[in-house]
């Protein structure tokens, strides 16, 4: 199975200098999707690509958001005939040590999630952030009927048929809320989902990209998708509405 790691970056030069060698030790290729990082992340990725054909770089004009970075990486994977795309953060909070288990799980599932909230998983960051993350997951699962335990995880492996089927270009959400909407679509299309336990560690280098605005956008996404779910359940399928009623 040919696997492409999609690595969205913004000011992650310190981290990718250490991360890319660890990824290249595994049987996969790497695509850095850089949003014109002022710290030279894109240039560093270009240097890697110049000497290592398994590293590719997609340069974007500015900080355009995590969701669209994923979509750009997905299109790169599909255009170059990869069998799967694996998304992860560039700051080692998603550690490469868990990738072999995710690759193994891809043999039985269409989407594999590196999960913090299944037995064997854990979160190593402050209590208030842990509470916020668990609350967001509980709300998303209850409101949308999502089956995975970790609905906001960005450490995921999507097999190519998922990316060809799900309308990735029409996903409204951007930022971290993209992850909730993408999972909602993957489950809605009936693809199989597996979770592999990981220990999520707080970053050591650089700064977190999560802000209060991102939290607000995630709440809006859950509300919007919940409304759509309830609306469709109450109104019924379009075909049923068009069918004439029998006396």
* Predicted confidence (pLDDT) per residue in 67-124, tens digit: 999 999 999 999 999 999 999 999 999 999 999 999 999 999 999 999 999 999 998 8
The position carrying tokens 């595994």 is 26
- Kindly report the CA angle at 224 between 223 and 228, in degrees rounded to 5? 115
Whether residue 226 is predicted with pLDDT greater than 90 in this model: the reply is: no
Decide: helix, strand or coil at residue 32. Answer: strand
pTM reported for the whole predicted model: 0.85
Tell me which H or E stretch contains 9: strand 3-9
| Lookup: tokens for 226 | 């919940």
Write the CATH number of the domain with boundaries 3-241.
Answer: 3.90.550.10
Q: What does the chain come to in residues? A: 247
- Kindly report the CA angle at 105 between 102 and 111, in degrees rounded to 5? 80
């Amino acid at each position: 199975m040919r696997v492409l790691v999609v690595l969205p970056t913004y000011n992650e030069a310190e981290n990718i200098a250490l991360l890319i060698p660890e990824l290249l030790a595994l049987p996969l290729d790497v695509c850095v999707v850089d949003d014109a990082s002022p710290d030279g992340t894109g240039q560093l990725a270009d240097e890697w690509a110049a000497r290592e054909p398994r590293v590719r770089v997609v340069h974007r004009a500015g900080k355009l958001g995590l969701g669209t970075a994923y979509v750009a990486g997905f299109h790169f994977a599909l255009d170059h005939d990869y069998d799967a795309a694996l998304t992860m953060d560039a700051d080692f909070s998603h550690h490469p040590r868990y990738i072999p288990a995710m690759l193994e799980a891809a043999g039985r599932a269409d989407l594999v999630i590196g999960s913090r909230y299944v037995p064997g998983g854990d979160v190593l960051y402050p209590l208030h952030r842990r509470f916020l993350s668990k609350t967001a997951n509980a709300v998303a699962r209850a409101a949308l009927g999502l089956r995975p335990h970790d609905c906001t995880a960005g450490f995921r492996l999507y097999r190519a048929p998922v990316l060809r089927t799900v309308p990735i270009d029409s996903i409204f959400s951007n930022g971290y809320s993209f992850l909730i909407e993408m999972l909602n679509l993957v489950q809605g299309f009936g693809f199989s989902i597996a979770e592999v336990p990981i220990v999520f560690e707080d970053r050591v280098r650089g700064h977190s990209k999560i802000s209060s605005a991102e939290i607000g956008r995630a709440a809006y996404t859950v509300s919007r998708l919940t409304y759509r779910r309830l609306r469709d359940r109450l109104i019924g399928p379009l075909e049923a509405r068009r069918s004439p009623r029998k006396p």
